[in-house]
Amino acid sequence: MRDLRVSVTDRCNFRCLYCLPETEEAADFYRTKFDLLKNPKPATPIARIWKPKAQILSFEEITRIVRVAVGLGIEKVRVTGGEPLLRKNVESLVAQLAAIGGITDLALTTNGFHFAAKALALRDAGLRRITFSLDSLDRENFKKITGRDGLAEVLAGIRQAKELGLHPVKVNAVIIRNLNDHEIETLAEFARAENVSFRFIEFMPLDSSRAWQRELVVSGREIVSQLQKRFDLVPVGSTNPSETARRWRFADGRGEIGVIAPVSEPFCGHCNRLRLTSDGKIRTCLFSLHEHDLKPLLRGGATDDDLADTLCQIVLGKEIGHRIGQPDFVQPERSMSCIGG
């Protein structure tokens, strides 16, 4: 295990329909899709109950866990949410993490809406790279997907991150059939024009309403095939077997695209990630059905050695792989917003 995702809040100011599909636009989209699918099953909305502050880890508790994990081999740390920029003074946590010797890669994933207010403080605290979510370049479609009229703010955030020297600046898009798959080429052109790394991600069953359908997944192969017809793409090799994206660069040297295909081409065998939820639980997979609570140790007088031993035992029980698309697949109780990206 070399990669730890750290969620600092379960709250989010967006309501993306592949995560928290609670907007009228999301309901209309899924209703239409269910009418077209065989054996439709209605979405079951889940009321949002945010974790009380007392259950959320303090920055000091997060830093302690990360420090212990780094002592066991963790090298990459990514701050996530929910939307991490909703956590007050998150730049203070970034500074604490940046001071831990052994972390070679400190990053943050954000929807970008509040990035302008935090950008300089985050960079000065030690943040070195950032990933934005951008599922559409069309204002109305962006609003339909996210439940927020925030495209301008996200685009401004991406450009500001580049100006501040964060590198690489990555951008993610979840592609859903009949929703934003018609924008695949436009999004790739954006990556080339802005000289950023763009990741196309398959639609995964991590929505709070359990509305995911395999028929809405645009496979990685389909995305690549479409892009290769339009662009001159050069494969980018990697020596890191745990890298989740297959990557290509544009022949003119500006920008890069990647495809993450956990549904159609699982990469579980090379997964080296752990996730720490905002309420102190370790997840060994995005699709774990069991979480390991560290709060009793943190708040019960356990030593760092106790924490280290517990983390080692947790890792030994890591799943062989997820079961997406299999008859026995069970969707996790918590949505992506609660898990940590």
If we measure between CA atoms, which residue out of 61, 52, 147 comes closest to residue 97? 61
pLDDT digits 0-9 by tens, 77-117? 999 999 999 999 999 999 999 999 999 999 999 999 999 99
Global pTM reads: 0.90
If we measure between CA atoms, which residue out of 273, 226, 219, 263 comes closest to residue 248? 226
Q: Edge-to-edge strand order for the sheet containing 256-260?
A: 233-236, 246-250, 256-260, 197-202, 169-175, 129-133, 105-110, 76-80, 3-7, 273-276, 281-283, 292-293
Least confident of 73-87, 151-165, 196-210, 286-300: 196-210
- Residue 26 and residue 257: Cα distance in Å, rounded? 27
Residue 85 tokens read as 């920029």
Least confident of 220-224, 238-242, 275-279: 238-242
- Residue 209 and residue 206: Cα distance in Å, rounded? 9
Residue 43, pLDDT score: 52
Which sequence spans correspond to the domains of the chain? 3-339
Residue 231, pLDDT score: 97
CATH architecture of 3-339: Alpha-Beta Barrel (3.20)
